[in-house]
Every structure is written in structure tokens, then in C-alpha cells.
Structure 1
Amino acid sequence: MGNSVLKQHYETAAKTGVLRISKGKLTKFPIPLSNLEQVLRTLDLTDNRFSNLPQEIKNFKNLKHLTLDKNVLRTLPEVLGELTKLESLSVRDNILVEIPHTLSCLKNLKEAHFSGNNLQDFPLALCGLRHLDMLDLSRNSITKVPDDPNLSTLHVVELNLNQNQISDLSEHLANCPRLRTLRLEENCLTLNAIPRCLLDSSGISMLAIEGNLFPPNSLAHVEGYDSYMERYTAVKKKLF
């Protein structure tokens, strides 16, 4: 991306509050970006070469949407937690191995996308965020959903854990107050690893479990399945 094109992007962003620079081969923030600290609402740096997100990101206090897909980020800076107006955060297809605990400060976060990374631990830091509707952790290396009471404060409506290495699920998932869609496709779950409370006493109405260590239709023989199907059917009826 040439300098003249970048200059035009910056000038437009100063008026709209939206800046998208993809495939720019960036490894650090360009100097003109600092002039937009107070006006940017959306920053999209997809498909660049960031291995570290500069600490200067903390200065963009008015950001609502931050997209960092397809870089080479191994970690995220703790100062990211200072962007308290952030509503969506997308860090797909990087090499993240952990998520900073300071993300628990993102009280306005509605969507968090971390698919296609190297995460091994479930990010409990995102529990307690009351506006978080969608959490995508698919295509990582998570081996379990921990048996931690804090999990009951996860407020997501949809949790995507497809294509991990999960063999152990916590019963606390059944207590998530708004959880309706739980995606667990292509993991390492046995039928006995599915907590019965997910079926008979949760609010989950869509449980996707194909591609695990048991035939999906065998779930129909598990205690609580009828209760789950009542919720599933009720939701389907509302859609038609």
C-alpha cells in the first residue's frame, strides 16, 4: 500500500472515525496514526505483520471495534484492558498462546473472536462481562473447560469451542445465565464427558457435538435429552 493511498486513508478516517489498513505489511503503528487517537471508533489492521501490538494502543480510548486478524501476534498487551469502550475484538488467525487477564475490564465488550490461535487454556478473564454475547474460541488447542465457579458468570449467548482438543467439560456451563448455543464439534469428548445438567437443567437450546468420540445420535439415550429437545424444538418453532 503506497504512501499516497495511506495518506488518503488517514484523511478519510479523520472524518469518519473508521480506519482499515489491510495487507499493508505493517509491523508497528505508522506515525500519522497517533493523530487519530481521539477520533477513531473502528480500527482494522487485518493481514499485516504485527508480532506485538504497540503499547500506544492504550491511547485510542474511543475505540469500539478493533480487528487484528491474520497477523503474527503471540500475546496481547495488558493495556488493551484500558479500552473500556470496546464492543468488538477480533484476533483471528494469529498465534496467541494466552489472553491477558486485563480483558476483564472491557465492560462493554459484546463480541470476542479468537479462533485460529494456539490457546490452551479457557480464558476465564472473560467471565463476568455482562454484555458479552458471542465468544469464539474455535480452532485452538484448549483441552478442557475448567471446573471453576467463575464459569457461571460467563454471560455469552453463544460459545464456540469447535475444533479444539477438549475432553473435559465443567458442569458450571449449565449455570451460564444466557447461554443458548454451545458448539463443541470436532473435539475429544466421550459421551460420559457431557454433563447431564447441560441437557436437563440449562438454558442451552443448541448443542453441536458432531465429530467427537461418540455417534451424535447416542446422545438421545442420555438422561435429560428430552428436556433439551423441548428447548430445541421451542426455539425452532419461533423461527418458522
Structure 2
Amino acid sequence: MGNSGLKQHYETAKKTGVLKVSQGKLTEFPASFKQFQPILRTLDISENKFSSLPIDIGSFKLLKHLNVNRNRLSSIPEEIGNLNKLESLSLCTNRLTALPESLSQLSHLKQVYLSENQISQFPLMFCGLRHLDVLDLTRNKITHIPDGVEDLHVTELICNQNQISAISNKIADCPRLKTLRLEENCLQLSAIPKDILTNSTVSVLAVDGNLFDMKSFAELDGYDSYMERYTAVKKKMF
């Protein structure tokens, strides 16, 4: 992206607090972005060629929305934890294998999108964030959902197309979880915790494409309890 193109985006940012420099073929975070630290609320640098974010990213204290989708990120600096006003974080289609623990400090987060990365460990650092509604981990390399997940406050957890073969029973204790998507994983029928069916707030449990057929799933002990919740929610929608 040429200087004239950037200049136009910069003028918009000065007026609106929104800087969108996507599809720009940028490989490095421009030093000129620093001028917007006191005003920027939305930063969209998706569809570029960033391999990293600078430590300075933590200085954009007013940032509420950060979109770095479709880049080449292999890591995220711990300083991202300084963005204490951040509400949405989108890092889809990168090369991330792990996430910084400092994300646990982002108490205003509402949506986190991490699909199409290389993450192998379930990101427990998001547990305890009471305003987090959606966590999307589609198309990663997660193999199990561990203990500790009970402190996740999301209403929707999306783990489709991973390699999950084990789920902690504690997932049934998630206080706000309504929708749990586990399609196209490596789950045996025996790996579905009974408490998800009988003793949870989950009203949509999507498990197609695992190592069992849906007829067998419907015969599980507790399935009727789950279907009561599912049907009650559907009735409210119409």
C-alpha cells in the first residue's frame, strides 16, 4: 500500500478513531501507527503479511476492536494484555501455536475468534472473563478440553474441526454455556460427559462428524433431559 493510500486511511482515523488498513500487503507494523495511540478504538489490519505484532500494541489503551485475521502471525506479545478496554479480538487464519497468558487480564472481552490456527492446548486463560460471550476455536489442533473449563463464562463455545477426543466433566459447570459445538472431532460416544446432557445449561450440543452415529447419541442416558432444554429454547424463538 502506497503512502497516499495510507494517508487517506490516516485522515479517516483522525476523525473516527477507526483505522482500517486491510489487504495492504504490509509486512511490518508501521511506526506511523503510533500517532493514533491516544484516539484509536478500532484497528483492522486483516489480510496483510504480518508475522508478528510489536510490543507497542499494548500502548493503544483505548482499543476496543482488534482484527488481525489472515496474516502470518506465529505469536502474540504479552503486552496485548495491556489493552484493558478490548471487547473483540479476531486472530483467525494465522499460524499461532499458543497464546499469551496476559489475555486473562482483558476483563472487557466479549468475542474472541481464533479459527484456523495451530493451537494445540485449550486456552484456559479466557476462563474467568465474565463478559466473554463467544469463543471460536474452529480448525485448530486441540486434543482435549481440560479441567478448569468450568470457569469459562461464554454462552457459545465453538470447537469444530479439531482433534478433540476427551472432554472434562467440569464443562457441565460452565455457568452460562448455551451452545457447544464439537462437530468433526475425534470423540467416541463414551467421551460425551453425561452431565452435559443431564445437568448443564447447554441447549444446543452439536456433535455431528465424530466417531459415532447420531442415532447412538440419541440413545444416550440423559439425552431426553437435553432435548427438553433444546425444545424449550426453540419454542422461545418462534
SS of alignment partner, residue 11 of structure 1? helix
TM-score, normalising length from structure 1? 0.98
Query: How far off its partner does 1:191 sit?
Result: 0.4
Matched, 1:152 2:150: yes
Match of 1:188 among 162, 186, 189: 186
The one-letter code of the counterpart of 1:195 is P
Cα separation, 2, equivalents of 1:142 and 1:195: 18
Q: Deviations over 1:113-154 (max 9, x none)?
A: 0000000000000000000000000100000001x2x21110
Cα separation, 2, equivalents of 1:111 and 1:44: 15
Cα separation, 2, equivalents of 1:106 and 1:122: 17
Query: How far off its partner does 1:57 sit?
Result: 0.4
Unpaired runs of at least 5, structure 1: none
Q: Do 2:122 and 2:145's aligned partners in 1 also have CA atoms closer than 8 Å?
A: yes
Cα separation, 2, equivalents of 1:66 and 1:111: 11
SS of alignment partner, residue 232 of structure 2? helix
Q: Deviations over 1:68-111 (max 9, x none)?
A: 00011111100000000000000000010001111000000000
Cα separation, 1, equivalents of 2:44 and 2:141: 26
Q: Do 2:9 and 2:19's aligned partners in 1 also have CA atoms closer than 8 Å?
A: yes
The one-letter code of the counterpart of 1:139 is R
Runs of 4+ more than 4 Å apart: none
Query: How far off its partner does 1:224 sit?
Result: 0.6
Residue of structure 2 in register with 1:29 after alignment:
29
Q: CA RMSD in A?
A: 0.7
Cα separation, 2, equivalents of 1:40 and 1:217: 52
Q: Do 1:89 and 1:113's aligned partners in 2 also have CA atoms closer than 8 Å?
A: yes
Q: Do 2:29 and 2:50's aligned partners in 1 also have CA atoms closer than 8 Å?
A: no
Cα separation, 1, equivalents of 2:79 and 2:31: 20
Cα separation, 1, equivalents of 2:30 and 2:188: 50
Cα separation, 2, equivalents of 1:175 and 1:7: 50
Residue of structure 1 in register with 2:45 after alignment:
45
Q: Deviations over 1:198-239 (max 9, x none)?
A: 000000000000000000121111111111000000000000
The one-letter code of the counterpart of 2:180 is L
Matched, 1:234 2:232: yes
The one-letter code of the counterpart of 1:89 is L
Cα separation, 2, equivalents of 1:27 and 1:37: 20
Cα separation, 2, equivalents of 1:217 and 1:29: 52
Matches within 5 A, 1:132-171: 132-146=132-146, 148=147, 150-171=148-169
Cα separation, 1, equivalents of 2:215 and 2:41: 46
SS of alignment partner, residue 107 of structure 2? coil
Residue of structure 2 in register with 1:60 after alignment:
60
The one-letter code of the counterpart of 1:91 is L
Q: Do 1:128 and 1:155's aligned partners in 2 also have CA atoms closer than 8 Å?
A: yes
Residue of structure 1 in register with 2:78 after alignment:
78
Q: Do 1:10 and 1:32's aligned partners in 2 also have CA atoms closer than 8 Å?
A: no
Cα separation, 2, equivalents of 1:48 and 1:97: 19
Query: How far off its partner does 1:28 sit?
Result: 1.9
Q: Do 2:110 and 2:134's aligned partners in 1 also have CA atoms closer than 8 Å?
A: yes
